[in-house]
Structures are given as structure tokens and as C-alpha cells.
Amino acid sequence: MNSMTGFGRAAVAVGSRRFVVEVRSVNNRGVDVKVRGREVDAACEIEIIRAVRAAVERGAVSISLREDGVAGGALNADRVRALHGALEAVRQELGLAAPVELATVAAFLGEAGTETGPGITWEDLRPAVSEALAGLAAMRAREGAALAVDLRARLQRLQATVQAIAAAAGSLPTRAARRLEERLAALSAEVAVEPARLAQEIAVLAERLDVSEELVRLETHLGHLGGLLEDSAAPAPSGRKMDFVIQELGRELNTVGSKVQDAELAGLVIEGKAELEKIREQAQNIE
């Protein structure tokens, strides 16, 4: 199981220049890739997107390329002196009092490098992109493992709540029938009720309050969700499957809540829906 949140970074030297590749990903319904970098031409961007899609199944992925000084930390001293001299000449010509500082030289040096440097190709970038994507995958796997631990704990709490609902629902028709009989007994002096009619009403009431089918489906969906979490060590994406199972769990809980006419059961259903919503929020970040 992998999270859709992650980060990866790598660097590559191209001649005297050094480039840094950074990859970030967040949750998304599908896969969406954006490439940023003035040095990236159309052909290189296509290859980057292809590499990202081969490594990521879901998520909004942003991959950026920027120049990070020169490779190996080398410094062209002659170029710095020449640029400083040119800036000093302009300063004196303009009559400015403040001397030219190294920060100003570095700023102009960076701008000159980005304008005149040679273009970068996919073959130049491939090692750094591969390394950054590997770092992204490792972080997504760590995040996914942490999410799996939290989801298992929440699933156990939801299962306990569903079991409590099943236990309380077992005696619900009997309690409802008893309440109906007590109300009719209070009205017996004024209204005559035939025993057959009373038995028929009790049967209809018991049928309306029966949630056994919903409870069976709830147990089935909970087992399916538990199976997906048990397979969390596998790299196969499971987020979409979890989304579907969670949606079905919510539907069954809503049906139980609409059927029961009992304060205790209603409270348990609300508790279950609250826990399910927490599971939904966590699962939305699963790839």
C-alpha cells in the first residue's frame, strides 16, 4: 500500500552546470503530471511525463528542474572578475556611491548562466529523474505503511460498533412489540383490538425493523476492507477499491439508521458513521 503523498530529490551534472530535480506528489482522483523548468523542452517533458506515469498510478505529481550553481562547486574566477569590473564601470559612470557587492555579482552571474547555458536533453536528465522517482516511491511506501496501521485500528473500532449494533438489533422487534402492546393496553378501555389484528401489526413492525440483511452486508464489506488492508505490503494500488467499499459501508449504515426506531441503536449508528468518515479521509490518500 502506497500513500499518494511523497517527495523525491536528485541532482545531475551537465558539463559545468548542475541541475536539481524535485518531485512532489499529493492525492488526486487520477494521475496528473506537471513539469516545471525553463530548461525543459517539449521532447524532454514528454519523456519525463512518461517516466512519472510508469512509476505512479494515482496522484497529482509536480516535477521541477532548476539549475543549482555549477557542478562540483567549481567557480570561474575570471568570469566573476570580468563581471565585477563591468558592474564597477557602470557604477562609476552613474555616480553611485555604494560599491558593487558579491551578492550583486552572483545575481548577474546566475542570470547570465540561465540565458547562455546549453540546453539539457532527456539523456542528461534520465539518471536524476530516476533517482528522484525512486525517492518519491520510498517515501510513499513509508507513508502508506503508517496509514495502514491507522486504518487497521479504525477498522477494528468500526467492527466493534457494528457488532454492538447487531447485538442491540436482535431484540429490537421484541422491544418494539412490547411497547406497542403497552400502548394498546392503555387504550383497551376505549378501543377494542382483536388479537389477530394485533399479531398482524406486530409482524409488520418486526419486518420493518429487521436489519439482518444490512448487517450481513456490513460484515461482508468490513471483511473486504480488512482484506485490502492485510494486502497492504503489496505494491498494487488499492485506493479505488477502498473508496468503493467505504461507499457501500456508508450506504448500509444509512439504511440501518433509517430503519431502526431506537435511541440506543441510533447512537451506535452515528458512532459507526463517524468512524467510517475518519476511515474515508485516510483512505483518500491511498494510491
CATH of the domain at 13: 3.30.230.10
Q: Residue 133 falls within a domain, yes or no? A: yes
Query: Based on the structure, what is the number of domains in the chain?
Result: 3
Q: Residue 103 falls within a domain, yes or no? A: yes
Q: Are both 262 and 278 inside the same structural domain? A: yes
What is the per-residue pLDDT for 69? 58
Domain that holds residue 259: 140-283
Q: Are 108 and 87 in contact (CB under 8 A)?
A: yes
Q: Residue 1 falls within a domain, yes or no? A: no
Q: Are both 128 and 186 inside the same structural domain? A: no
Q: Are both 91 and 14 inside the same structural domain? A: no
Q: Are both 55 and 91 inside the same structural domain? A: no
Q: Is the dihedral of CA 125, 12, 120, 114 positive or negative?
A: positive
Q: Residue 101 falls within a domain, yes or no? A: yes
In the structure grid, which three cell numbers stand for residue 67, read together?
539549475
What is the per-residue pLDDT for 74? 55
Q: Residue 35 falls within a domain, yes or no? A: yes
What is the per-residue pLDDT for 193? 58
Bridge partners (DSSP) of residue 32 are: 60
Q: Are both 129 and 159 inside the same structural domain? A: no
Distance from first CA to last CA of the chain, Å, rounded? 7
Q: Residue 233 falls within a domain, yes or no? A: yes
Q: Residue 28 falls within a domain, yes or no? A: yes
pLDDT digits (tens, 9 = 90+) for 234-270: 555 678 889 999 999 999 999 988 887 778 888 999 9
Q: Are both 144 and 218 inside the same structural domain? A: yes
| Beta strand spans in the chain (E) | 6-14, 17-26, 31-36, 59-70
Residue stretches of the chain with pLDDT short of 70? 69-76, 109-119, 171, 173-209, 232-237
In the structure grid, which three cell numbers stand for residue 112, read together?
547570465
From residue 147, give the alpha-carbon distance in Å to each of 1, 150, 194, 229, 243: 9, 5, 59, 10, 15
Q: Are both 131 and 194 inside the same structural domain? A: no
Q: Are both 273 and 152 inside the same structural domain? A: yes
62 by DSSP, 3-state: which? strand
Q: Are both 173 and 254 inside the same structural domain? A: yes
Bridge partners (DSSP) of residue 6 are: 25
161-188 in b/e form (b: 16+ CB < 10 A) is: bbebbbebbeebbeebbeeeeeeeeeee
Q: Are 28 and 4 in contact (CB under 8 A)?
A: yes
Q: Are both 52 and 172 inside the same structural domain? A: no
Q: Are both 145 and 264 inside the same structural domain? A: yes
Q: Residue 88 falls within a domain, yes or no? A: yes
Q: Are both 145 and 278 inside the same structural domain? A: yes
